[in-house]
Amino acid sequence: MRGIRKDKKGEQPSKKRAADGDVLRDMLRSITGEDLRAYRDRALLAMGMAGAFRRSELVAITIARVSEDDRGLLVRIPSSKTDQEGYGHTVAIPDGRRLEPVHHYRAWLDKAGISEGPVFRKLTPQGRLTEKAMSAQGVALVVKAAAIAAGYQPEMFSGHSLRAGFLTEAGRQNANLFKMKEHSRHASLEMVAEYVRDHERFREHAGEGFL
């Protein structure tokens, strides 16, 4: 048994797949309904990826913590795992035209008639709006449901896939590493660089010219 435990200890834990730009676009397109759940889920996915939010940060967003800007939205995060002093962070969400996070956010608020309190709320099984914020687990369920609808394997995705998706796509687009860290609120550059390395393992490979 001891030997078995050693072998398992040396194994790499299976990574969940990042919901990068292409994947998230597929997920958003798969949610075709016009009911409250469809509007909420589209906004949740687009905002979650655009802000590189942790699940707990995403469900804690309230109307009072979001302000409009000519270039998009500014979301105030009161505190986080890497902000022990509690100063908080302000996350900028650009008014993009590909994944349209700002559009989906506004459309959800208009559809639900939300003007105060939690942004991302629980719905009853019948699809009625409640005043309670979604749970972190609820975010994961939305991601997995969207993965199924888009033709992906749901077990490959989790709530973290949205956050990982932003960093993966930013690395693919050769974004500045320091700006990526600033946006994702990671404690170190090394943690952010891991997402870039995952994408670049085959780029300019040392054996490209002779293998």
Active site residues: 54, 81, 160, 163, 186, 195
Q: Are residues 167 and 52 in contact, defined by beta-carbon separation less than 8 angstroms?
A: yes
Alpha carbons 186 and 4: distance in angstroms, whole number? 34
CA dihedral 54, 57, 59, 65 (to 10 degrees): -150
Alpha carbon distances (Å) from 48 to 1, 19, 69: 42, 10, 18
Q: Are strands 89-94 and 121-123 parallel, antiparallel or unpaired?
A: unpaired
3-state helix, strand, coil in the chain (%, to 5): 50, 10, 40
Alpha carbons 2 and 74: distance in angstroms, whole number? 52
- Which among 11, 13, 23 is positioned nearest to 154, based on CA atoms? 23
